[in-house]
Structure 1
Amino acid sequence: MTRVAHTAVAEPPRPDMFSNARVVGDQFFLSGMHAGTPDGPVGGSDTYVQAVEAFRRVQALTEACGATVDDIVVLRIYLTDIDEKAAVGRARSAVFSGDFPCSTLVEVSRLVEPGLTVEIEAQGFLPRSSGQ
Structure 2
Amino acid sequence: MKKERFFSDAVREPADKTWSNCLRVDDLILISGMTARGKDGETLVGDTAHEQSRVVFQKIKDLVEAAGGVMDDVVKMTIFVTHMSDNAQVWKAREEFFTGNFPACSLVQVAALAKPEILVEIEAIAIAGCSKD
TM norm. shorter chain > 0.5: yes
Q: Is 1:57 matched with 2:59? A: yes
CA 67–106 in structure 1, closer or farther in 2 if over 3 Å, else same = same
Aligned to 1:98: 100
Residue by residue over 1:34-86, the C-alpha shift from the partner in whole angstroms, topping out at 9 and shown as x without a partner, is 10134531013x11100000000000000001000010000000000000000
| TM alignment of 1:4-23, pairs within 5 A | 4-12=6-14, 14-23=15-24
Q: Tell whether 2:34 aligns with 1:33.
A: yes
- List runs of 5+ in structure 1 lacking aligned partners: none
Partner residue in 1 for 2:45: 42
Distance 1:40 1:118 in 2: 15
| One-letter amino acid matched to 1:99 | N
What letter matches 1:43 in structure 2? G
> How has the CA–CA distance of structure 1 residues 16 and 104 changed in structure 2, closer, same or farther, with 3 Å as cutoff?
same
Normalised by the size of structure 1, how large is the TM-score?
0.91
1:92 and 1:15 map into 2 onto residues whose CA distance is 31
- Could you tell me how far apart the structure 1 residues matched to 2:18 and 2:68 are? 24
**In structure 1, what residue type is equivalent to 2:13?**
E
Provide structure 2 residue ranges, at least 5 long, that are not aligned to the other structure.
Answer: none
Q: Name the SS of the counterpart of 2:78 in structure 1.
A: strand
The percentage of aligned residue pairs carrying the same residue is 35
1:40 and 1:115 in contact (8 A); partners too? no
**Number of residue equivalences:** 126
* CA drift at 1:114: 3.0
**Runs (4+) off by over 6 Å:** none
